[in-house]
Amino acid sequence: MLDDAPAEGIEPIEKWASPEYGGRVPDYYLVYLGKQTLTHWEFKLPKSPQGRRRAAEGMGFTAEVLDTWNMSVTAVPGTFTLPGRTDYFLADKAGRSIELPGKPYMAIRVKRLNERWFWRSTRTAKSR
């Protein structure tokens, strides 16, 4: 499951405020839900501390649900686009959430889209 992780490794993003988030901002996020048994997870990424790379409005992302117990990966359909926001998080502009199976030990992998592909596909979809 970690074959797809950044070669530099995964670091805590906000270890005090949001310890469940690790990754490499703004390109790769891993959200570990531990013993929580959620059926939905609101798509939201923590804002990085000042002076660090940050996710920005307009960035597009894909997501996958990782079942760490059964070692399976399920792609989430569609893409998520920022700029929805709160004081501490950037969220999907459509306010979407990711459906989860309600089991413990789940994780969510979020990867930034290749920007050239994302903008090209967005323009193509709008021109139809």
Q: Above 80 in pLDDT, residue 75?
A: yes
Contact status, residue 68 vs residue 107, Cβ threshold 8 Å: yes
Q: What is the set of domains in the chain, with CATH numbers?
A: 2-127 (2.60.40.3950)
pTM of the entire predicted model: 0.82
Q: What distance, in Å, lies between the first and last C-alpha atoms of the chain?
A: 37
pLDDT in tens, 5-22: 888 888 888 778 788 999
